[in-house]
Amino acid sequence: MNNKRKNIKKSIAKSTLPYLLLLIIMLFVFYMVSVLNTDVTVFTYDEFMSKLNDNKISEMELVTHGSAYTYEVSGVLRKSKNGESFFVRLPYSENVIQKISDACEENDVKLTIDADPESSTWVLILVNVVPILLLGGFAFWLFSRQMSGASSSLDFGKSRAKLNDENNDVTFDSVAGLKEEKEEVKELIDFLKSPKKFQKMGARIPKGVLLVGPPGTGKTLLAKAIAGEAKVPFYFISGSDFVELFVGVGASRVRDMFKQAKRNAPCLIFIDEIDAVGRQRGTGLGGGHDEREQTLNQLLTEMDGFGANEGIIIIAATNRPDVLDPALLRPGRFDRQITVNLPDVKEREEILAVHAKNKFLSSGVTLNGLAHRTPGFSGADLENLLNEAALLAVRRNKDEITMSEIDEATDRVLMGPAKTSRKYSENDKKLVAYHEAGHAVVGLKLNGASDVQKVTIIPRGMAGGYNMMVPSEEKLCSTKTDLLEEITGLLGGRTAEEIEFGEITTGAHNDFEKATKIVRAMVCEYGMSDLGPLQFEQESGSVFLGRDYNKTQHFSNEVANEIDMEMRKIMNECHDHATKIIKDNRDLLKIIADALIEYETLTKEQIDYLVEHKHMPPEDENSSSYEEMSVSRLREIAKEKGIKNSSKLTKSEILKELEEINSK
């Protein structure tokens, strides 16, 4: 980093030097031109005295130069057209001064006499002392710069770990959920507080704890909470801070980090993203990496060389445990692995409660209901969800966050912002509406593995619309029936197109991709087919060759043909099931599709009302939520507010126009 800064400064200096020289030359030229353009006449002593006695001089200035024994006289001639000036050098004599003074008094000439500038003390200091000080200061600056460069090069191998020895206010109360994970690390806190209790029993505390889990589940926050609960110094560093260009620097930093930690024991060392330095040695298409491998070797040595009474515990976090070196995971180094999973519904509610403390939620928003609507969300996703909802509420000039903002924020997190500028033709809109209605009808008529939470035909991301299906209950394992119902639901959109229009479109591309992946996993990995409980495919151990680059296949060509036949059989059975459901519920399909064309988005409550009453619930005339209104009513409101061509705008376009008006 220091070398980069030096190179940047050198390049800046080189680029600005020509402009600086050009500026100096231009100033010099301007000065010379101004001097040359001045009409100055040089007189002799006799000519000067003659002009002075003839009253042809209006004013003049006399400067004494005692060291040169001369007078310098400059002035302006009287009644000159262009302000002609003159200059004369006179001998240093009292008689000369007297004659000039008498002549000036007689002819009323303004005379100014300046003392010898060379006799001024400040001028002497300026001329003689200041240049020496400038040269000395420049030499000192240059010398100190060289010394700082040398010291920075000596610190190149120092540890980059930062010590957080201040009061750490992050405790277990700040970490919502993770009940089992907290129990696992409580004994680490007890050891850091009172290690003698463990030593007396002959117990050895784990030297290293590896936190494993998907991104955003709170691994770093849990490590901070451990240090906050134990109230011990907390060193934190990223795995990428060890690896440098030069071989041996990372190993030096590891040694220095443990040296500093031993001085402050008991303490915690937290290494985030340890897979950056702890990858398996000698793997990958490009061979090994000397700097990273030496750094890893030094880390292994330092961890295995811990004494039982040193009181240093290493906590590391990663979401790629499969790429870590086996020597790093053996007992004596990272003795314990703690898996930080995605939160369940109860933990999601606790996480939402933490992030909702400083937000104003309307009475219609319940954290329990929101937790049930967000399966698969991590803690970071939930925080982002509430933040997006708060931003939308501010944008819409609301005093509190309603379910409308929650729904929109959920869609933004999952699918991205709505493509309101994308134009739908009437035919395309009808196709998308029946496609999404097909998903909804199949989802509603299945045995309840998933609940239809929301259906929309508003384009988001690469999708023209989507159907939000949420599991009725969270399960650790999926049954064969659950998977078959999921495949049937994915095929509902294409089936509705076939039945209603007698034509198929490209809209089911993503549905087929997901369905095919599930079917292949059922046949080749889960043993859920007539081929029996056999696993035909599995991921190989070459994790550095790319995903699915080297998938191991344990079957012959004949078995491959049978696999294809089984996949086709399962897919056809699910398609037939979806066809039967939609043909038996053509009326419901039409009702949902017409409602989607009119409202563009249907919530779970509206869908349930449609199923029961065969029509949409009556609109509340006093409702202020534009999102819940129909297109016809929105067009009336848009016309009242002066929006042009409101009769031709879609619901999304009207909402965008109204949002801009409200923001103004």
Placement of tokens 């440098």 in the chain: 244
Residue 237: other Cβ atoms inside 10 A: 21
CA nearest neighbour of 543 among 318, 313, 311, 300: 318
- Specify the pairing of strand 450-456 against strand 466-471: antiparallel
Beta bridge partners of 114: 63
CA nearest neighbour of 280 among 316, 320, 337: 320
Structure tokens at 619: 């609109």
Q: Which of 347, 436, 600, 627 is catalytic?
A: 436
Sheet holding 466-471, edge to edge: 466-471, 450-456, 601-603
The string of DSSP letters for 310-372 reads S-EEEEEEES-GGGB-HHHHSTTTS-EEEE-PPP-HHHHHHHHHHHTTTS-B-TT--HHHHHH
CA nearest neighbour of 336 among 205, 228, 227, 223: 205
CA nearest neighbour of 211 among 233, 184, 242: 184
Cα 636 to Cα 650: distance, rounded to the nearest angstrom: 13
The string of DSSP letters for 221-242 reads HHHHHHHHHHT--EEEEEGGGT
Placement of tokens 């059989």 in the chain: 569
- Residue 436 appears among annotated catalytic residues: yes
Structure tokens at 475: 């399960």
Cα 560 to Cα 581: distance, rounded to the nearest angstrom: 32
Structure tokens at 105: 């008094």
Q: Is 40 helix (H, G, I), strand (E, B) or coil?
A: strand
Report which DSSP code applies to 282.
T
- Residue 443 and residue 470 in contact, taking contact as beta carbons nearer than 8 Å: no
Beta bridge partners of 88: 73
Q: Is residue 266 reached through a cis peptide bond, with omega within 30 degrees of 0 on the bond before it?
A: yes
Largest Cα–Cα distance in the chain? 133
- Residue 406 and residue 389 in contact, taking contact as beta carbons nearer than 8 Å: yes
CA nearest neighbour of 482 among 514, 446, 452: 446
Cα 563 to Cα 560: distance, rounded to the nearest angstrom: 5
- Residue 251 and residue 295 in contact, taking contact as beta carbons nearer than 8 Å: yes
Task: Classify the phi-psi angles of 213: left when phi > 0, otherwise alpha if psi is within -120 to 50, otherwise beta.
Answer: left
Active-site positions read: 436
